[in-house]
Structure 1
Amino acid sequence: MSRKLWIVGLLGLITTLGIWCTKPGLFPEDGYDPRLSGGMATVFDLSSQSFSHPIPGLSAWDSHVHEKGDQIFEQNFVAAPAPLFSGLGPIFNNVSCISCHHNDGKGTPSFGAVNSSMLMRVSLPGEDEHGGPVPVPGFGLQIQDRSVLGYVPEARVSVSYHDSLVSYPDGNTVVLQVPVYTVSNPYIPLPSSTLFSPRMAPPVFGVGLLLRVPESEILSHADPDDADHDGVKGHPNYVYDPVSGAQVIGRFGLKANVGNLLTQVASAFQQDMGVTNSVFPQESAAGQPQVDGLHDDPELPDSLLNAVKFYVETLAVPARRNVTDPQVKAGEQLFSQIGCASCHLPTLHTAVDVNFPALSNQRIHPYTDLLLHDMGPALADGRPDYQASGSEWRTAPLWGIGLFPKTNGTAYYLHDGRARSIEEAILWHGGEASKAKQNFMQLTASQRQAVLAFLQSL
């Protein structure tokens, strides 16, 4: 080897070692593209399928697993026994994942229908052995309001609305719809002390990024004692994870009551569809007179369960739009000035994950702190969930919120879909968000429209 080639090779080795040994630096502000809500895991699509793309850079094998998970996510399950996709019921809420999470986004606020995305959580006062909700005898933690042939639903759930008028100081008005929930025809009487919590299916895209936000970063934003005296507290939920058998920080679910994606997916199969699996091998109807008694559990193979988990974990985030529009930029400043960004944090970071470069060490803009906040009596369900009180909810991520009308046809917001617009959702805020809401109401009409234009750009 010539001396020249030897020197070139040595310099190349030194450069490579330097790259390997360099710690990740701070994200540069100059030249950063504000459209990249999910960092490298961002896709540019404005269609109804904007939530349904895989993260860029998956290997051929990972793409295959993602596609298999997508197929199972969209598959209708049928009653057992059946040669394929068996295990639905005998009591359930829906027949597939996609039936609730329309186009991988939010649901619609209806019960019992084919396209229903609502369910009613139930529990008794107190805590179970892990600090979680206490199941209702004969019903568990969720009312299954549909059943296969030959069985009966646990109960029927319906919702009606009445109007409530909100007036701005400038004289403009908005009509909010106040939901009233009715549980009827239970197959056995429900205890009088039963606690109820209606829930609408949330979006599933971007969860792989939220999974990788370090716990230390989440905790750095907590302020349970309101040390800065801004009226905004925020604290994490710690929940029992049946996969690890340990208490972990909650990240998923409307009350941050799930800490593990596998647990989230497995619970949805077992509770929402009645399909048992290795994480939850017991029928949701266990202990009831109408349990199927087929002894075919678990009904879902681990390969398919893990494929669905992998699918949602590797869904990309849609890019922001209209980021240079003057109205949008003005709305972004107002969003921060009036206090919305105290909970809906614009920026988080993910930890290093060498297996998924598009999810690793990313600067992301989910507009959440993943913490619990008291939202006041108007949004309270009165049902505690681990360390979440009956009036506390996890800060909902806002990325993709402006695309919900396209992905759903008609968009609905908040935990139970009561808000028909982003403006209505803001006006429902209370508790720790009361000051931010009042600040929004004090804005001029054009300023409020700027805030809404900014939110619609996310």
Structure 2
Amino acid sequence: MRSVFTVLALTALSLPAAADTGSELKDLHLDVIPRTASERERIAPVTRPTEDFSAPEKFETNPAGAATVRARTDADAFSQPSGNISFAGELDFKLGNGLFKKLWVSSPSSTLASDGLGPLYNARSCQRCHLKDGRGHPPEGPDDSRVSMFLRVSVPAAPDAPMSDVEAFLLSLGDETPRTRPDPNYGGQIQDFALPGHAAEGQMRIDYTEQEIALSGGETATLRAPSYSLADPGYGPLGEGAMLSPRVAPQMIGLGLVEAIPAEDILAKADSDDADGDGISGRPQVVWSFDEDAVMLGRFGWKAGAPTVKEQSAAAFAGDIGISNPLFSSPAGDCTPSQMACIEGPHGDGDARGTEIDAEGLDLVTFYSRNLGVPARRDTDDPQVLNGKRVFYETGCIACHTPKYVTHRLTDRDEQSFQLIWPYSDFLLHDMGPGLADNRPEGRASGSEWRTPPLWGIGLTEQVSGHTYFLHDGRARSLLEAVLWHGGEAQAARDRVIEMPPEDRADLIRYLESL
């Protein structure tokens, strides 16, 4: 049976226009009850952005619909199950949570259910990166852990390199994003830990330079611009033209609801050529699903490189922890042929499990990740919050940070079925300018394009994660700094924030803190 995920058939995206408008989208799964014309008419006014900022909108305090959870005041605010989860579902959630927190050990081990770590890895558990299911951070000093942040790496593909199915498909759409391949020595990411007897691949080095930004009203802000390099390389030099891209672990809430948004609703906002002339030209990411064996819409990750929660989870097990699983079955994880000691070392896939985490375990972790609840909004009727909302909308932020959607009707996932949700994202790729560019293409995303991240829960970051670092590499030390780093398609909105009255700027930040 197909999963609830919306699969984009090759024939459905045979024209570039179809990839943008979703006009020929085909849902190939069997678990969705298709929308009727009358239902679409009911949904349209509900999801239309408001023009009234005198009071909160109906249901605005429940950003995840019936799945919303109460807003706790402690660090566990992101670790609650969906508010509408069943008793049986809550049991599966707790089992998945146990696997999410489990510390993996090296092979061979007497704890057969937990062996298979590495040999090269970034963390020993999912929880080590997503502490309290929240946001990772860059190291705050020489002694601070880098465990919630790592470097992706790739090299330009040789001109005669065989094309993958997705690359051939994108070329048929006229897409000319440069092709890449994993680094020949280091694979797709830098693993900075290793088991005894193995060398770590290296250590991420970050150097910052600061620049001051003048704001209206005599205010100023200071931005720190990072540069990245690999120190202590353990397996020789990086490949020619190697591109490094830093990534912090994103927060985990609301993932199942994002997965349940109809692909046609996301594709309807795409405008690759900026046909409407508003300066915003979001593009859908297109990726290959190893689970569905088909081309799909990318939704998850900083460049939307994963189509589903399950594939994002499976890729993290393989790349971050070195744990083989039904989707990525290599017991050596991300190790390359240049790392034969890693490939030939002992692994934990020799028993009845088949892979180091089996299908049941992967499904439980997926269920847990899919059902981490979104906390209720706070202070929605506060005058500053309401004015900040007006500023957010009128400044043009909603051109990318789409406020609302209604999810699919699902026959087997009541928690995510037919909910009015408020993630504040269009889940498309946008050019954010040279300041934020990592200069590393990924799939259809160029070196300056990023997926619009959801904003729900962003105001609870300090409470949950103990810091206020934002953006893909944590360079922004506050929400204001994150806004000021916006360039490219968001440059005009960013300039309006710089120029607006200081009171409006403060209210804008107050509004973001209420999400």
Q: Scaled by the length of structure 1, what TM-score is found? A: 0.92
Amino acid at match of 1:26: R
Greater mean deviation of Cα atoms: 185-194 or 415-424: 185-194
1:38 aligns with 2:38: no
Is contact 1:90-1:147 (8 Å) kept? yes
Query: Shift of residue 32 of structure 1?
Result: 2.2
Aligned residue for 1:176, secondary structure, equals strand
1:185 aligns with 2:220: no
Q: What's 1:26 paired with?
A: 42
Alignment map for 1:49-448 (pairs within 5 Å): 49-82=76-109, 83=111, 84-110=113-139, 114=145, 116-126=147-157, 129-130=164-165, 131=167, 133-186=180-233, 187-282=235-330, 283=332, 284-287=334-337, 288-291=339-342, 292-294=344-346, 296-297=348-349, 298-448=355-505
Query: Shift of residue 277 of structure 1?
Result: 1.1
**Cα distance in 2 for residues equivalent to 1:124 and 1:242:** 22
**Cα distance in 2 for residues equivalent to 1:343 and 1:429:** 12
Aligned residue for 1:438, secondary structure, equals helix
Is contact 1:123-1:383 (8 Å) kept? yes
Largest Rg, 1 or 2: 1
Aligned residue for 1:182, secondary structure, equals strand
Amino acid at match of 1:177: R
Aligned residue for 1:98, secondary structure, equals helix
Aligned residue for 1:197, secondary structure, equals strand
Change (3 A) 1:316 1:230: same
Amino acid at match of 2:301: G
Amino acid at match of 1:280: F
Q: Scaled by the length of structure 2, what TM-score is found? A: 0.82
**Cα distance in 2 for residues equivalent to 1:149 and 1:238:** 39
Is contact 2:108-2:347 (8 Å) kept? no
Greater mean deviation of Cα atoms: 154-163 or 135-144: 154-163
**Cα distance in 1 for residues equivalent to 2:418 and 2:86:** 19
Is contact 1:112-1:145 (8 Å) kept? no
**Cα distance in 2 for residues equivalent to 1:189 and 1:112:** 26
Aligned residue for 2:116, secondary structure, equals strand
Give per-residue Cα distances to partners, 1:131-161, cap 9 Å, x unaligned.
3741111211111111111111112212122
**Cα distance in 2 for residues equivalent to 1:113 and 1:170:** 37
Give per-residue Cα distances to partners, 1:45-94, cap 9 Å, x unaligned.
23211111111233333222111110111111111112141111111001
Q: What's 2:10 paired with?
A: none
Percent identity among equivalent residues? 39
Aligned residue for 2:430, secondary structure, equals strand
Amino acid at match of 1:140: G
Flag as ranges the 4+ runs of structure 1 deviating above 4 A. Answer: 21-25, 27-31, 111-115
**Cα distance in 1 for residues equivalent to 2:220 and 2:96:** 46
**Cα distance in 2 for residues equivalent to 1:286 and 1:224:** 36
Give per-residue Cα distances to partners, 1:394-440, cap 9 Å, x unaligned.
00100000000000111210000000100000000000000000111
Aligned residue for 1:312, secondary structure, equals helix
Is contact 1:94-1:114 (8 Å) kept? no
**Cα distance in 2 for residues equivalent to 1:121 and 1:233:** 26
**Cα distance in 2 for residues equivalent to 1:22 and 1:221:** 19
Is contact 1:93-1:146 (8 Å) kept? yes
1:48 aligns with 2:105: no
**Cα distance in 1 for residues equivalent to 2:144 and 2:127:** 14
Q: Report the count of equivalent residues.
A: 438
1:455 aligns with 2:512: yes
Structure 2 gaps, min length 5: 1-35, 47-55, 168-178, 350-354
**Cα distance in 1 for residues equivalent to 2:38 and 2:400:** 30
Give per-residue Cα distances to partners, 1:292-339, cap 9 Å, x unaligned.
433543211221111101100111111111000001000101101111
**Cα distance in 2 for residues equivalent to 1:202 and 1:233:** 24
Is contact 1:99-1:115 (8 Å) kept? no
Aligned residue for 2:435, secondary structure, equals helix
Q: What's 2:15 paired with?
A: none
Is contact 1:233-1:432 (8 Å) kept? yes
Amino acid at match of 2:341: Q
Query: Shift of residue 22 of structure 1?
Result: 11
**Cα distance in 1 for residues equivalent to 2:336 and 2:390:** 53
Greater mean deviation of Cα atoms: 314-323 or 122-131: 122-131
Structure 1 gaps, min length 5: 1-20
**Cα distance in 2 for residues equivalent to 1:293 and 1:149:** 11
Change (3 A) 1:31 1:238: closer
Cα RMSD between the aligned structures?
A: 2.0
Is contact 1:112-1:157 (8 Å) kept? no
**Cα distance in 2 for residues equivalent to 1:262 and 1:169:** 46
